[in-house]
Structure 1
Amino acid sequence: MDEDRQGTDLIARQLAEEFKLEAWQVDNVLALIDEGNTIPFIARYRKEKTGSMSDEVLRDFSERLTYLRNLEAKKEQVMGTIEEQGKLTSELKEQIQKAATLVEVEDLYRPYRPKRRTRATIAKERGLEPLAMILWKQDDTTDMNTLAGAYVGGESDVATVDDALQGAKDIMAELVADEAEYRKQIRSLTAAKGQLTAKAKNPDATSVYEMYYDYREPVHKAAGHRILALNRGEAEKILSVSIEAPVEEILQYLERQIIRGEARRELLEEVIEDAYKRLIAPSIDNEIRGELTEKAQDGAIHVFGKNLTQLLMQPPIAGKTVLGLDPAFRTGCKLAVVDATGKVLDTAVIYPTSGPGRIPEAKQKLKQLIAKHHVDIIAIGNGTASRESEMFVVETLKEISDPVSYIIVNEAGASVYSASKLGTEEFPDFDVALRSAVSIGRRLQDPLAELVKIDPKSIGVGQYQHDMNQAKLSEALTGVVEDCVNKVGVDVNTASPSLLSYISGISKTVAKNIVTYREETGRFHDRRDLLKVSKLGPKAYEQCAGFLRIQGGDNPLDNTAVHPESYAAAQNLLSLLGYSLEDVQSGGIAQIQNRLRGQDEEKMASQIGVGVPTLKDILSELAKPGRDPRDEAPAPILRTDVLEMKDLREGMVLKGTVRNVIDFGVFVDIGVHQDGLVHISQLSNKFVKHPLDVVSVGDVVDVKVISLDLERKRIGLSMRL
């Protein structure tokens, strides 16, 4: 128990140092996580205990905590295994306990790990270990052949002196390869001075990897997106990728560590070269490439997460009837009209891209749907035939008097949803393409509510996502979606099971039970009604209640992010400031924060029984109950006319929407079928370390056209206006 306590204290101190936190913050967060509290709940409702740590920092903290606990568990397992062998010295135990990474622990464990039959183990079976140790220690200067001769013949199956010496050399080579300190230094030298190289397997072949056909770059300078590109080129058998290590420097280092005189120099030089090239280099290369890949993947996952956050947090277009259009050629464009609540009002199929003869009929049908349902906006998917569909829509809109606009919507993942079990359950009578049209329309109305139905990996705002550790990617992106959903909150009386399942403390089963309860009783009138839901116990209620909203319920605080545990504090605050719950119900108290100006926040917080962070959160909610944090983001650009790539000219300045952010730049929708690229060098007049430091997905930006390649459909843009 003392060792467990010591390990916990070490982890706590390390986390405090790495995250620049006070000891009390670390202790509180560890306790909160171990009690089963979710990250969104801790971030929002335990600010006093965490020092107002953000959800992003808390997730990084939790991930690092898991790694350090796994590291401690690995150390215990390794020390136990070595102790069972009777080989755990106090010095080795101290080395293992001080190891900072799993790689270091594995290096120390290597000599004691059960091995498959190697050249060294075969030599030991033949009785050659004593000879190897004599030569290794370099104390006995007797002629090597004479020493080896003693192990030839007799009961031994060693036939010649050369056989004996070769077996001894194999044993010594493994000794070199198993030494943890040597591996550590070689890994460091290779990472610092090695070159990452790539060659084309067929230099005459055309591919997207041509820039890597004769590639060389220092390992420590290789950017993440290049690492992932090389990995993919290698996986597709187009590239041969390797690491060129500073071999001479490594061999000299080993010789300095091992050779103590001239008597055995030639033999040991041969052993060292064999140990490095046969046993050490291949595994070190794999480890370094693995580390490079992991770091590149972590960077790509981070970028994907940031992009996904911005996409999910785009403002909803409330109160509008939307017509979703899923473009296609031969099979026709699928249309779905959804009202302001997302309810499907009508569907149709038209064929404006199948030939000029069918355009009049398609126009007529589109006009009928617009007039019948008072459509405000047409959302056009950006897939196949999107450009042709856009031109058709613009021509049709010019022929009607109604003020209807359109927007191109990123339809990534719509087909995944359409073919999913969830899509089938939601629209059993629709074919796959009609479900896509509904999804396209709804994702314009409320991106968050619709996109949670789709696997985050399929939403299309990352790079190389299919080449990554899929479990790690899914975990990270699920965390992003959870944070977004809980930041916004959901109306428990209208939310889908998909949306509810991302709420803190609610499983997929409980989400379905909430919907079942709603259908059976009509609606939730009070947050306490949640306790009547099957399998939603007190702990789950504590975690979820603050994130679920009830509009028009019995208690106006139920339509805020104020947690039920703080209702008494909120009511006390209202009384102290001369307000009542009725004032909240009538639309909020916009001036409530002004009433507190000049007063002692610490004293006021103490009076109502909460901390200052919670006091500020309560004030914010009472001022604007039911507010949507997404409303602060820029609204999407609605269009009424079409722009083609041939209409562009170098020097033109246009307004566009950021569609994707990657390591080397930003893709911007400027209203033509092809997104333009703003290279990282064109993002600002100042140095930009990463595009995310300048822009986010969904941002509306001004860009200048700096290059056009009509044949390859490439548009170069600049934000350096």
Structure 2
Amino acid sequence: MVLQQNRKERGIVLSEQDIVLEQVQDELLAKRQERIIKQVAKELSLSIKQVRTTATLLDEGNTIPFIARYRKEMTGELDENQLRQIEERVVYLRNLEDRKVEVIRIIEEQGKLTKELQTSITNAVKLQEVEDLYRPYRQKRKTRASVAKERGLEPLAAWIWEQPKQGNVYEEGAKYINEELGVDSAEAAVQGAQDILAENMADDAAIRTWVRRYTLDHGMLVSEAKDAEAESVYENYYSYRELAKKMPPHRILAINRGEREGFLKVNLEVTPDSVYRYIAGQVIKGQSIVENLLRSIIEDAYKRLIAPSIEREVRAELTEKGENQAISIFSGNLRSLLLQPPVHGNVVLGVDPAYRTGCKLAVVDDTGKLLEVAVTYPTPPNNKKKEAAAKFHELINKYGIQLIVIGNGTASRETEQFVAEVIAETGKPELAYLIVNEAGASVYSASKLAQEEFPDLDVAERSAASIARRVQDPLAELVKIDPKAIGVGQYQHDVSQKHLEESLKAVVESAVNHVGVDVNTASSSLLSYVAGINATIAKNIVKYREENGKFENRKQLQKVPRLGAKTFEQCVGFMRIPGGQNPLDRTPIHPESYKVVDKLFQELNIELDKLGSKELSDLLTEQNPEELAVKLDVGVPTLRDILDSLQRPGRDPREELPLPIFRTDVLKIEDLVPGMELQGTVRNVIDFGAFVDIGIKSDGLVHISQLSGGFVKHPMDVVSVGDNVTVWVLNVDLKKGRVGLTMKKPNVAE
């Protein structure tokens, strides 16, 4: 049906024979799709119906945020993570099926395809299995075995492989002496035959699979210093060994980096005796005149051919494990950072600190509009504190500034000390300061987008404005920056950049659609992450808004160039129009459900203008969703979402989170003593703990063992970026400027 439908749409008329061929191809595609769906359902412990429905919805061009929010009945309420897992596995398995077809075709063209081989390839569930099976038939560069084959030594190799009980291998080898072909002795002939058999063993799929598994289970990853006298951050790995399969992901990536930077020599050590025994068990049939020769060939095959390639494959698998974990951590941290609660209603002074070039200042009003920029020099080497203080006081009084936001880059803590002194001088109890992560601000400042937003400002002034806006609406500001430039991960520069980019884009997309966007104020950067919207359509929305004024209702989006019916369906539920013609346009309720809402209000005998009132909220709370869903002829999950949206119209889910910690005075590392209780903000979560800003120059570390009194599998199970936490000082290293913290309350009795 697929091919026939495509042909019909293109107006192509085919012969009856071609139509029959298309029907056969369609049947094969359908069987392939069903096989993939069953496998994904089994892998992810989901029903076949859930996987089939999800795959169909994705194939129809629906986005994951849209499916997760507005197609819950169809998928059985799968969440975004489950939907992405299905998408990832379906894509992988479809590519795997395509590769199987290609491999079978190539082997068949060589005239070497057997039924058994075809079955093995067809039944493979991993790409590695297919490549192992294809390996003997792949075109190779010139090898010792290929040279031996060119010299006519395959029959001799076959004779040895038969493992004769009688005869002499060198007498047999003498039959193949041919100086024209380069075989000048019986020994050379036998050696050539050995090379052929060694390569055959190295190409055997079953042997490779077993050796790969054994190496991963028993291999020791060993690292040594290239120069033991060289100082580096990798000194812990100058003489290090650990069972490869037990290595934590961050350690794998650290050793990889040390090797790449030339400080470490790394290899995978495996005791070969078990490997020799296994291969011998597969190869040697019993006593023969060539038994010892075969054992020698096995040893050569493993050491020269199998071990080096398997080591590369296993290390690649370990690296992939490390990369996946690093990307997962970065993604989790990024989501937490993007969903930080906005600090509304404040005129903010943003400060981009520096030494020689001075602190750039930017004042923005409570909507993020830039009011004024300036530069002061309170830090070394200029130390113009008096002049700087005068400027700060002027701006504070002129604009009624309530919050000063300082970037955490160069000269941050010196600037913080200065700002704390200024706040004390003002005597204004409502004035406070906040340190924010400025990662990516310089990237944004030099971008084309920043130039368009602030054409009259220099790079540092734009950075100060971005820092100020980060607290007012973290999501709206951070989406302007390449996610990779926001430093909330570990080893993000050591992983597959393509995989990282795809994962981070999905995180930003998820966060944006979770919050929703005000279509009348959102930047094109923010709009481009809305489900179904690309960069071109996002710019068209902004352009339409500028030319025609504010959107009054969601239907007007259909007038935006290139925003077609499918895109409208995908995006409209995530677009908000506060104060628009239809009160429902400021809620997450999709227009396709507006008729359901109308029936609901009729059932409740209340008017739509009561939206947001306590009267409506109380009435909705009393309803039984299961019973009401039957009356309204709607799915229960959809109705629950509708009821929740009606009770809290215009709700920003981020506002339910605690605000960041505002400070008015500076804490120095010298002030800290073990046991001191402090309030801090989690800045980064990594495999072995969390870094917490407690108001000193460097963030303190809460090791994973100090996060909770119970067992902690991973720090992300306990804390997230942006969390406000209570910590106690464990230890202080003044020389290195390091502070150890604990989240386990000390036992006072002790």
CA shift in 2, pair 1:454/1:587, >3 Å: farther
Determine whether 1:620 maps to 2:620.
Answer: no
Provide the C-alpha distance between the structure 1 equivalents of 2:319 and 2:179, rounded to a whole number of angstroms.
Answer: 53
What are the residue-to-residue correspondences of 1:109-188 with 2, within 5 Å?
109-139=134-164, 141-153=166-178, 156-188=181-213
Which residue of 1 is the match for residue 689 of structure 2? 665
Provide the C-alpha distance between the structure 2 equivalents of 1:303 and 1:158, rounded to a whole number of angstroms.
Answer: 59
TM-score normalised by the chain length of structure 1:
0.98
Determine whether 1:423 maps to 2:450.
Answer: yes
Which residue of 1 is the match for residue 76 of structure 2? 51
Determine which of 238, 249, 257 is the counterpart of 2:274. Answer: 249
Alpha-carbon displacement from aligned partner over 1:355-393 (angstroms, at most 9, x marks no partner): 575111100001111111111100000000000000000
Determine which of 327, 330, 344 is the counterpart of 2:353. Answer: 327
Name the SS of the counterpart of 1:316 in structure 2: coil
Name the SS of the counterpart of 2:681 in structure 1: strand
Determine which of 405, 409, 412 is the counterpart of 1:383. Answer: 409
What are the residue-to-residue correspondences of 1:348-359 with 2, within 5 Å?
348-355=374-381, 358-359=384-385
Distance apart, 1:607 and its partner CA: 2.4
Provide the C-alpha distance between the structure 2 equivalents of 1:53 and 1:391, rounded to a whole number of angstroms.
Answer: 50
Determine whether 1:437 maps to 2:454.
Answer: no
What are the residue-to-residue correspondences of 1:673-692 with 2, within 5 Å?
673-692=697-716
Name the SS of the counterpart of 1:196 in structure 2: strand
Which residue of 2 is the match for residue 374 of structure 1? 400
Which deviates the most, 452-461 or 261-270? Answer: 261-270
Letter in structure 2 aligned against 1:91: E
Distance apart, 1:188 and its partner CA: 0.9
CA shift in 2, pair 1:587/1:466, >3 Å: farther
Number of aligned positions between the proteins:
718
Which residue of 1 is the match for residue 435 of structure 2? 408
- Maintained 8 Å contact 1:225/1:296: yes
Which residue of 2 is the match for residue 300 of structure 1? 326
Which residue of 1 is the match for residue 10 of structure 2? none
Determine whether 1:701 maps to 2:725.
Answer: yes
Provide the C-alpha distance between the structure 1 equivalents of 2:735 and 2:612, rounded to a whole number of angstroms.
Answer: 60
Letter in structure 1 aligned against 2:182: D
- Maintained 8 Å contact 1:324/1:441: yes
What are the residue-to-residue correspondences of 1:68-83 with 2, within 5 Å?
68-83=93-108
Provide the C-alpha distance between the structure 2 equivalents of 1:157 and 1:352, rounded to a whole number of angstroms.
Answer: 82
Alpha-carbon displacement from aligned partner over 1:372-422 (angstroms, at most 9, x marks no partner): 111110000000000000000011111113321000000001011011111
Distance apart, 1:594 and its partner CA: 1.9
Determine whether 1:17 maps to 2:42.
Answer: yes
CA shift in 2, pair 1:440/1:357, >3 Å: closer
Determine whether 1:62 maps to 2:62.
Answer: no
Name the SS of the counterpart of 2:617 in structure 1: coil
Alpha-carbon displacement from aligned partner over 1:562-603 (angstroms, at most 9, x marks no partner): 00000010111122122221011668932243230xx3x334
Which residue of 2 is the match for residue 228 of structure 1? 253
Unaligned runs of 5+ in 2: 1-24, 746-750
Provide the C-alpha distance between the structure 2 equivalents of 1:149 and 1:357, rounded to a whole number of angstroms.
Answer: 91
Determine which of 85, 98, 104 is the counterpart of 2:129. Answer: 104
Determine whether 1:189 maps to 2:214.
Answer: yes
Name the SS of the counterpart of 1:317 in structure 2: coil
- Maintained 8 Å contact 1:571/1:580: no
Determine which of 292, 298, 304 is the counterpart of 1:272. Answer: 298
Which deviates the most, 2-11 or 311-320? Answer: 2-11
Distance apart, 1:10 and its partner CA: 1.4
Which residue of 1 is the match for residue 11 of structure 2? none
Letter in structure 2 aligned against 1:675: D
What are the residue-to-residue correspondences of 1:502-513 with 2, within 5 Å?
502-513=529-540
Which residue of 1 is the match for residue 7 of structure 2? none
Distance apart, 1:140 and its partner CA: 5.9
Name the SS of the counterpart of 1:398 in structure 2: helix
Provide the C-alpha distance between the structure 2 equivalents of 1:75 and 1:519, rounded to a whole number of angstroms.
Answer: 53
- Maintained 8 Å contact 1:526/1:554: yes
Which deviates the most, 205-214 or 148-157? Answer: 148-157
Distance apart, 1:107 and its partner CA: 0.3
Determine whether 1:469 maps to 2:496.
Answer: yes
Which residue of 2 is the match for residue 578 of structure 1? 605
Provide the C-alpha distance between the structure 1 equivalents of 2:382 and 2:149, rounded to a whole number of angstroms.
Answer: 83
Determine which of 735, 740, 746 is the counterpart of 1:716. Answer: 740
Provide the C-alpha distance between the structure 1 equivalents of 2:556 and 2:614, rounded to a whole number of angstroms.
Answer: 24
Alpha-carbon displacement from aligned partner over 1:516-573 (angstroms, at most 9, x marks no partner): 0000111100100000000000000000000000011000000000000000101111
Determine which of 386, 411, 419 is the counterpart of 1:360. Answer: 386
Letter in structure 2 aligned against 1:435: R
Letter in structure 2 aligned against 1:101: K
Provide the C-alpha distance between the structure 1 equivalents of 2:578 and 2:448, rounded to a whole number of angstroms.
Answer: 30
Determine which of 189, 193, 208 is the counterpart of 2:233. Answer: 208
- Maintained 8 Å contact 1:335/1:348: yes
- Maintained 8 Å contact 2:165/2:288: no
- Maintained 8 Å contact 2:163/2:288: no
Determine whether 1:240 maps to 2:265.
Answer: yes
Letter in structure 2 aligned against 1:276: Y
Determine whether 1:499 maps to 2:526.
Answer: yes
Which residue of 2 is the match for residue 563 of structure 1? 590
Determine which of 559, 563, 566 is the counterpart of 1:539. Answer: 566
Letter in structure 2 aligned against 1:626: G
Name the SS of the counterpart of 1:411 in structure 2: coil
Determine whether 1:651 maps to 2:678.
Answer: no
Determine whether 1:318 maps to 2:341.
Answer: no
Which residue of 2 is the match for residue 530 of structure 1? 557
Which deviates the most, 204-213 or 180-189? Answer: 204-213
- Maintained 8 Å contact 2:356/2:381: no
Q: CA RMSD in A?
A: 1.3
Determine whether 1:450 maps to 2:474.
Answer: no
Which residue of 1 is the match for residue 508 of structure 2? 481
Which deviates the most, 662-671 or 136-145? Answer: 136-145
CA shift in 2, pair 1:523/1:587, >3 Å: farther
Alpha-carbon displacement from aligned partner over 1:637-663 (angstroms, at most 9, x marks no partner): 000111111111111011111110000
Unaligned runs of 5+ in 1: none
Provide the C-alpha distance between the structure 1 equivalents of 2:127 and 2:616, rounded to a whole number of angstroms.
Answer: 55
Distance apart, 1:155 and its partner CA: 5.4
- Maintained 8 Å contact 1:587/1:624: no
- Maintained 8 Å contact 1:592/1:619: no
Which residue of 1 is the match for residue 15 of structure 2? none
Distance apart, 1:141 and its partner CA: 2.8
Distance apart, 1:87 and its partner CA: 1.3
- Maintained 8 Å contact 1:493/1:518: yes
Determine which of 652, 655, 671 is the counterpart of 1:631. Answer: 655
Name the SS of the counterpart of 1:534 in structure 2: coil
- Maintained 8 Å contact 1:588/1:624: no
Provide the C-alpha distance between the structure 2 equivalents of 1:563 and 1:390, rounded to a whole number of angstroms.
Answer: 46
CA shift in 2, pair 1:312/1:357, >3 Å: closer
Provide the C-alpha distance between the structure 2 equivalents of 1:220 and 1:639, rounded to a whole number of angstroms.
Answer: 46
Distance apart, 1:3 and its partner CA: 2.9
TM-score normalised by the chain length of structure 2:
0.94
Which residue of 2 is the match for residue 344 of structure 1? 370
% same residue: 56
Distance apart, 1:72 and its partner CA: 1.1
Determine which of 516, 519, 532 is the counterpart of 2:543. Answer: 516
Distance apart, 1:6 and its partner CA: 2.0
Name the SS of the counterpart of 2:467 in structure 1: helix
Provide the C-alpha distance between the structure 2 equivalents of 1:525 and 1:674, rounded to a whole number of angstroms.
Answer: 49
Name the SS of the counterpart of 1:640 in structure 2: coil
CA shift in 2, pair 1:188/1:517, >3 Å: same
Provide the C-alpha distance between the structure 1 equivalents of 2:615 and 2:373, rounded to a whole number of angstroms.
Answer: 40
Which residue of 1 is the match for residue 21 of structure 2? none
